[in-house]
Structure 1
Amino acid sequence: MKLKNLTKWGVMVVALAFSGCQEDQEVVQQSDIAKETLDKIYQMGFGTKEVQRVDNGYLVEGDIFLTEAALNDQHDPRFLRVGETEQYRTNSLVTPGASSVNPRVITVSVSSRLPASYKNGTQVAIDRYNAENLLIKFLLVSSGGNIVLEKANGSYLASAGFPTGGNPYGSVKVNSRAIGDGNTATFYNYVGTIIAHEMGHCIGFRHTDYMDRSYSCGGSTANEGASTVGAVQIPGTPAAADPNSWMLACIGSGQSRPFNNNDKTALNYLY
């Protein structure tokens, strides 16, 4: 996701990523990345524009981290569509619980290196998911979570990866220097929106405007890539544009995006 309308940063990658994935990592120019690697990224169904090499892998689509090992795995990527504004998922999902009464609990912890306000924002994100009575439930813990929010620097707001082996991706890199700090409900909701977006990646969601990121980011049409299998449309969703999805690629500074009806349909379809 990209952050729009930030005076300090200009147009920022907000897939909640701004550009890198870890502190003090080397960021390599696109021209220095081998065509073979870009081809593998494309074949996985990810965009190859502004790909960055970071520690142990690559950052794609602004906030999605792919390891070297992931690039060399056999892939069967799939996505699901909400009308003409798409909700996409990868083929890798989290193994859910048996029912909403007995959901799988996924713990989330926040590094002490992040401002205290980020715990409030994370709780906002968790509350949004848990209000949907899904087959997964999130729980904020003091340390050692299944998903750990870690402090990071670089040209991004936050970044995450996708599930493996039925488990959520284990970390969200958060650039608190770029996001800022605050002690208001407005700020908590903003951070909560960023964290909920990255948690969405951790459980298998792609960007809603995957096929044309200019929808939320502006500028020229930017198709993030081609998947190798067809789309599955979620029944009962409208064929109109969806300007408020929590998984849009870009976000305005200070914006809050709770789940809209299409988001809720997608979440309940998967979990």
Structure 2
Amino acid sequence: MKVNRLFTPLALLVGAAMSLFSCEKKQEVVTKNEISEETIGQISALGFSAKDAQKVDGGVLVEGDIVLTNEMLNSTPDYSMMRVGEDEQYRTTNLVTGLPRNITIRVSSTLPSAYVTATDELVRRYNAQNLRITFTRVASTSSANITLTKSPSGAGYLASAGFPSGGNPYSQVLVNSTALGTANASTYLATVLAHEVGHCIGFRHTDYMSRQYSCGGSAVNEGASTVGAILIPGTPSGPDPSSWMLACIGSGANRPFNTNDRTALNYVY
């Protein structure tokens, strides 16, 4: 099975089709050495790994698909984690507030129609959980809380997002539709977009403590800093191989919410 790094730095699109898949934030080709020691310290202080961090518009890209804005880098928010079994489900304390609340999502005209189909499916998946947060797809730019739009030309990632700020969801998901294509809209593409929306409302990667679990290769801990962990009652102690927030996913795979995902979602929202 081809493993897509849904959610780590990806080789740039040069020539042949890519074998790795990443949901990294707004990043055109940049030099990793541009990250200063001060910024590396800020990233670590927030509980994230600075490994392979890259500058992007308005902040830095870490852990493959997560954007830490300049505002977040200069703050000291209290990040915490939510654990599901040995492969943990994590959240930040930057969550969407004002619950119950409906979050509106717009699909930009820069994306093919398959992404409308995929968005409708991700909306259905979330809304079926009967959470205090619901989703609606809208057409108007002015009424959208989250906009899905095409990534810059030549981007070296497949999709990207950030975390909530000020009680509001992260406002943008960049999608490299050229690399992702349009096949399997209601399964694979919906899974990719649901993962990114998961970041937008405050979730981190399920295999945060060891990306090797879903990505293969050497073990990589995304960094825990001094943050705490909350074990969700009633979740299993074994691995969770099908979570929608795992860092990597097989090409064309489908990951609707599993039992642990539903527990995590209901715990937070």
- TM-score when normalising by structure 2: 0.90
Q: Where do 4+ consecutive residues of structure 1 move more than 4 Å?
A: none
2:1 is the counterpart of 1:2: no
Aligned equivalents of 2:98, 2:245: Cα separation in 1: 20
> 1:130 is matched with which residue: 116, 127, 130?
127
Aligned equivalents of 2:6, 2:165: Cα separation in 1: 28
Residue type matched to 1:205 in 2? F
Aligned equivalents of 1:160, 1:126: Cα separation in 2: 17
Alignment deviations for residues 69-95 of structure 1 (CA, whole Å, 9 cap, x no partner): 210112211111011110000011111
Q: CA deviation at 1:34?
A: 1.1
Aligned to 1:147: 146
Aligned equivalents of 1:219, 1:48: Cα separation in 2: 18
Residue type matched to 1:45 in 2? G
Aligned equivalents of 1:112, 1:32: Cα separation in 2: 33
Aligned equivalents of 2:108, 2:188: Cα separation in 1: 18
Alignment deviations for residues 159-209 of structure 1 (CA, whole Å, 9 cap, x no partner): 111111111111111110110113xxx332111001100110011000000
Aligned equivalents of 2:190, 2:20: Cα separation in 1: 20
Aligned equivalents of 1:53, 1:257: Cα separation in 2: 30
> 1:215 is matched with which residue: 208, 213, 216?
213
The answer to whether the 8 Å contact 2:34/2:54 transfers is: no
**Which consecutive residues of structure 1, in runs of 5 or more, have no partner in the other structure?**
98-102
Aligned to 1:176: 177
Aligned to 2:65: 63
Aligned equivalents of 1:93, 1:79: Cα separation in 2: 12
Aligned equivalents of 1:118, 1:226: Cα separation in 2: 34
Residue type matched to 2:156 in 1? S
CA distance change for structure 1 residues 267 and 3 in 2, over 3 Å: closer, same or farther?
Answer: closer
Aligned to 2:101: 104
Quote the RMSD (CA, aligned, Å): 1.7
Aligned equivalents of 2:228, 2:123: Cα separation in 1: 31
Residue type matched to 1:21 in 2? K
Aligned equivalents of 2:140, 2:40: Cα separation in 1: 36
Q: Aligned pair count? A: 255
Greater mean alpha carbon deviation, residues 202-211 or residues 31-40: 31-40
Aligned to 1:100: none
> 2:26 is matched with which residue: 21, 29, 32?
21
The answer to whether the 8 Å contact 1:95/1:167 transfers is: yes
Aligned equivalents of 1:143, 1:256: Cα separation in 2: 29
Q: CA deviation at 1:33?
A: 1.4
Q: CA deviation at 1:96?
A: 4.7
Alignment deviations for residues 212-264 of structure 1 (CA, whole Å, 9 cap, x no partner): 10110000000001232321100000010011000000111111100000000
Aligned equivalents of 2:33, 2:179: Cα separation in 1: 26
Secondary structure of the corresponding residue to residue 159 of structure 1: strand
2:255 is the counterpart of 1:257: yes
The answer to whether the 8 Å contact 1:245/1:263 transfers is: yes
Residue type matched to 1:58 in 2? V
Aligned equivalents of 1:140, 1:258: Cα separation in 2: 19
Aligned equivalents of 2:246, 2:160: Cα separation in 1: 14
Aligned equivalents of 1:75, 1:104: Cα separation in 2: 23
2:55 is the counterpart of 1:53: yes
Aligned equivalents of 2:31, 2:44: Cα separation in 1: 17
Residue type matched to 2:122 in 1? A
Aligned equivalents of 1:34, 1:134: Cα separation in 2: 41
Residue type matched to 2:205 in 1? H
> 2:76 is matched with which residue: 74, 77, 99?
74
Residue type matched to 2:96 in 1? V
> 1:11 is matched with which residue: 16, 20, 42?
20
- TM-score when normalising by structure 1: 0.90
Secondary structure of the corresponding residue to residue 10 of structure 1: coil
